[in-house]
Amino acid sequence: MLDRILEFQRALRSAGVPVAITEGLDALRSLEHISIADRQEMRAALAASFVKNQEHRETFDVLFDLYFGT
């Protein structure tokens, strides 16, 4: 899962979403508190860490579906 989150973080950056390394660590820590089998919980946890501006939410959602399925 670590590799997938790091790839996802890089993809977000490449797509213009400003994501810092510390936010990636926060995202990983957030996954300790949810069921990663529940995609909606996972989407919400990662969005809370990675999306700071609503204009980046659509990019996040598209990439989330590509990296973690629907």
- Per-residue pLDDT reduced to its tens digit, 20-48: 999 999 999 999 999 989 999 999 999 99
Indicate the SS3 state at residue 40: helix
Q: Are 41 and 35 in contact (CB under 8 A)?
A: yes
Residue 69 has what pLDDT?
87
Residue 1 has what pLDDT?
83
